[in-house]
Amino acid sequence: DAKTTQPNSMESNEEEPVHLPCNHSTISGTDYIHWYRQLPSQGPEYVIHGLTSNVNNRMASLAIAEDRKSSTLILHRATLRDAAVYYCILNSGGSNYKLTFGKGTLLTVNP
Amino acid sequence: EAEVAQSPRYKITEKSQAVAFWCDPISGHATLYWYRQILGQGPELLVQFQDESVVDDSQLPKDRFSAERLKGVDSTLKIQPAELGDSAMYLCASSSLRDTQYFGPGTRLTVL
């Protein structure tokens, strides 16, 4: 699977929007962009995924660059419960549907 | 809401002992994954099952680790003998075919 690059850490204030970037310059045409997050002492949880178009769900929005070499996870109003490690993962959706996690971005939300 | 169950949540053992972890996936999920997560790093896939068959165990240290899913439902991951470097969080996840993975709470293993 292609590699992603994320900042090690980011900080935000409660109730403000958060933009978490991810670079994936070697993405292939069949790679989906997935975001998972891991709250302290819990297993990872799915946040959102997309291929080419921007995506919205109840948790977040995913903005994908036109050349698909980068993407941004947007939390519209950060809460203290959003403090977590956020992982950006590429997956081609093949038969094994394997997720390769990097170190992710540790998001700190200040009250 | 259905969840992936794992037990135990915490396990402390001495090196050279055997340990086993259990996972019960979400009902109807044919695909089951075991991951290992070392502190400060992302999860690493150890083994993936499709029903009762192993489809990927390329990162499983087969000299000491074994995994089974005999009836294609729940699964057991075993380490024998445990080594100090095995201290980590062991996560189980399940999914429908080529769909979102749902993770359990994990088992925190400490090897003394």
pLDDT for A98 equals 80
**Under an 8 A CB cutoff, do B42 and A43 touch?**
no
Give the mean model confidence (pLDDT) for residues B2-12. Answer: 96
Which parts of A51-111 are beta strand (E)?
Answer: 55-56, 61-64, 70-75, 84-91, 105-110
A40 touches chain B (CB under 8 A): no
Return phi, psi of residue B21, to 5°: -120, 145
- What is the mean predicted confidence (pLDDT) over B1-14? 94
Contacts with A102 from chain B: Cβ below 8 Å: 42
User: Own/partner pairs for A62-70, CB < 8 Å, 24+ apart?
Assistant: A62/A33, A62/A35, A64/A33, A68/A24, A68/A27, A68/A33, A69/A23, A69/A24, A69/A25, A69/A27, A70/A21, A70/A22, A70/A23, A70/A24, A70/A25
Residue A1 confidence (pLDDT): 56
CB pair distance less than 8 Å for A43 and B4: yes
- Per residue in B11-62, pLDDT tens? 999 999 999 999 999 999 999 999 999 999 999 999 999 999 999 999 999 9
- Which among B40, B31, B34 has a CA at the least distance from the CA of B20? B34
Tens of pLDDT along A63-97?
999 999 999 999 999 999 999 999 999 987 665 67
Residue A35 touches partner B, C-beta closer than 8 Å: no
Could B105 and A42 be called an inter-chain contact, meaning their C-beta atoms sit closer than 8 Å? yes
pLDDT digits (tens, 9 = 90+) for B66-94: 999 989 899 999 999 999 999 999 999 99
Tokens 């995506």, residue located: A55
**Nearest CB to A96 within list B42, B55, B102:** B55
Residue pLDDT, tens place only, A25-67:
999 888 999 999 999 989 999 999 999 999 999 999 999 999 9
- Of the partner residues B43, B55, B99, the one whose CB lies closest to the CB of residue A44: B43
Let me know how long chain A is: 111
Which of A43, A97, A103 is the closest to B98 by Cβ?
A: A97
